[in-house]
Amino acid sequence: MSRRTLLSWSSGKDSAWALHVLQRDPLIDVVGLFCTVNKVFDRVAMHGVRVALLQQQAESAGLPLYIIEIPFPCSDSEYAEAMTSFIDTARKESIECFAFGDLFLEDVRQYRETNLNGTGITPIFPIWGIPTKQLSSEMIASGLRAVITCLDPRRLSEKFAGREYNDSFLSDLPEGIDPCGEYGEFHSFAFDGPMFQNPIEISLGETVHRDGFVFTDLLPPTPNE
């Protein structure tokens, strides 16, 4: 019997690809997505994506979306409290697994495993350990499309902000930058691919510096479009 699973959803390419992998696994039944949202700015934490676009992703994936609101700024204890409350909710809905799109950072995986230890919910990592050069090429070849919404200017030039994640983007990356941005060099928003029923329409907005990062705003279609 397939296990009822919720997928941690950042709005980016890695979580989108994790969804694609899970959709093809007969032992897994993805029944929803969950995402932490900065309730002050009403945007996805770290990626800076508007909640309206997050909701369009979930709709295109055909899955319910669980939004976990966190304050800004958010302390470790406040984050832990929000997640504990959500875990309790998930258990009441007979969720058996939480899935994550992590790739190779052992400390991140250990953090997730520790937080779920003893809860009755099993953490799973469907794309863990895939070499990121191979993974990036596979994602692009499959038709996954994403745009860079946030980057760390200490690691990557701001000229990469707002660019589409494609072969040209990868070829322009400086040496030492992970092709999937696993060290936090950049974050993305997935707007098309085999995990979606239809593309999410977006346009590029303003690029700004905030809290030491560079963010490119993504705009949903206006109502009259």
How much of the chain, in percent, has pLDDT values that exceed 70?
Answer: 97
pLDDT surpasses 70 at 40: no
Mean pLDDT for all residues in the chain: 94
Least confident range from 56-60, 81-85, 197-201: namely 81-85
Q: Please tell me whether residues 162 and 187 are part of one structural domain.
A: yes
Q: Hunting for tokens 């510096």 — which residue is that? A: 209
Reported as a single tens digit per residue, the pLDDT across 9-32 is: 999 999 999 999 999 999 999 999
Which residues constitute the domain of residue 168?
132-219
Q: Please tell me whether residues 38 and 119 are part of one structural domain.
A: yes
Burial of residue 158, with CB atoms counted within 10 A of its CB: 0-12 exposed, 13-18 middle, 19 or more buried: middle
Q: Please tell me whether residues 87 and 138 are part of one structural domain.
A: no
Of 103, 124, 145, which one is at a domain's C-terminal end? 124
For residue 113, the model assigns a pLDDT of 96
Which H/E stretch holds residue 141?
helix 132-141
Closest by Cα among 176, 171, 138 to 155: 176
For residue 223, the model assigns a pLDDT of 60
Reported as a single tens digit per residue, the pLDDT across 100-145 is: 999 999 999 999 999 999 999 999 999 999 999 999 999 999 999 9
Reported as a single tens digit per residue, the pLDDT across 90-104 is: 999 999 999 999 999
Q: Please tell me whether residues 109 and 163 are part of one structural domain.
A: no
Which H/E stretch holds residue 38?
strand 28-38
**Most distant pair of Cα atoms in the chain: their distance:** 50
Q: Please tell me whether residues 112 and 18 are part of one structural domain.
A: yes
Q: Is residue 189 part of a domain?
A: yes
Q: Please tell me whether residues 41 and 80 are part of one structural domain.
A: yes
Contact criterion met (CB below 8 Å) for 47 and 187: yes
CATH, residue 85: 3.40.50.620
Q: What is the mean pLDDT of residues 168-196?
A: 97
Could you tell me what percentage of the chain is helix, strand and coil, using 3-state DSSP and rounding each to the nearest 5?
30, 30, 40
Q: Please tell me whether residues 84 and 140 are part of one structural domain.
A: no
Rounded to whole angstroms, how far apart are CA atoms 66 and 93?
A: 12
For residue 48, the model assigns a pLDDT of 82
Q: Please tell me whether residues 9 and 106 are part of one structural domain.
A: yes
pLDDT surpasses 80 at 213: yes
Q: Coil, strand, or helix at residue 66?
A: strand
Q: Please tell me whether residues 17 and 114 are part of one structural domain.
A: yes
